[in-house]
Amino acid sequence: MNKKISTSIAIGIILILFLLSIGFIYWQYLSLYRELSKQTDVAFNENKILDETDNLIKQKLIDCEKVQSKDLKDNCYLVVAANNRNLSVCENIYTQYTKDYCYLSTAVTRQDLFICDKIQYQDIKYSCYKIIKQCDKIQTQIQEDSCYIGLAKIKQDLSICDKIQNQYTKDDCYKIIGLDKRNLSICNDIQDIVLKDVCYAGIADATQDSSICDNIRDQYQEGIKDYCYLNIVKVKQDLSVCEKIQSINLKNQCLNLTF
């Protein structure tokens, strides 16, 4: 009797385990099905968006083609290319100058230097290199130096200034970085006296430290040095600094300031 009961219980347990296994497998199947459905929906939606974008561009190109004026037609293509970052649209432009600007806008929006190489007009090509900050690609020395100044300022990297060939432009680059970093040692390395003085005056004004004005070599009355002191007095309201001003007129003006 007990043996029969034990056998029945064992069969019952096996049956329950079997049903649970079937349920678990079915649950896994449903989960996998839902996940695949989601992925399929996402892929479908992405493809749908791409198709809609392509269709929209095609429609805009058809509209551009209907324009009679060559200049207006070129401008139409330029706008479509720029708005959609689509390089191939630029190839529809008839005028080389407008086509180059199309390449420029696409290169900038896509940050793709190689598109700059397609530009025929040198000024536009150099502008493209400059905007994307590939200064060494520029063949005109003045524009290359100007590009390095912009790149040095963006990266706050003084070593980039050393790539500049023109000494005055290099000094100007040092001045810019010196002012941004408020670093007097950078001002010290500037060879041009005026730019060096401007660097000192700028840091003095930014830090409100009149002792920095003492480094200025300009000895002209009402020059950089005198105004360096005056500007600090106006902010710090310390009339004792007025005594350092060389110009009598400017000193009196300083002493008569009211706060």
Q: Please, which pLDDT band fits residue 6 given cuts at 50, 70 and 90?
A: low
Q: Please, which pLDDT band fits residue 82 given cuts at 50, 70 and 90?
A: confident
Torsion of CA 126, 153, 206, 183, to 10 degrees: -130
User: What residues contact residue 155 under an 8 Å CB cut-off, 6+ apart?
Assistant: none
Residue found by looking up tokens 């200064």 in the block? 135
Residue 23: the pLDDT is: 53
Largest CA distance in the chain: 126
Cα–Cα distances (Å) from 206 to 158, 181, 236, 237, 243, in that order, read 20, 11, 12, 15, 21
- Highest mean pLDDT range out of 20-34, 48-62, 112-126? 112-126
Residue 112: the pLDDT is: 86
Q: Please, which pLDDT band fits residue 39 given cuts at 50, 70 and 90?
A: very low
Least confident of 9-23, 35-49, 205-219: 35-49
Statement: residue 73 has pLDDT above 90: no
Statement: residue 57 has pLDDT above 90: no
Residue 5: the pLDDT is: 47
Distance CA 18, CA 10 (A): 12
Residue 162: the pLDDT is: 96
**pTM (2 decimals)?**
0.62
- Highest mean pLDDT range out of 19-28, 31-40, 52-61, 107-116? 107-116
The mean pLDDT value of the chain amounts to 81
Least confident of 71-75, 174-178, 182-186, 230-234: 71-75
Mean pLDDT value of segment 78-90: 88
Give tens-digit pLDDT for 179-192: 999 999 999 999 99
Statement: residue 28 has pLDDT above 60: no
Mean pLDDT value of segment 170-185: 95
Evaluate the CA torsion angle 107, 113, 118, 119 in order and state its sign.
positive
Give tens-digit pLDDT for 107-128: 888 888 889 889 999 888 888 8
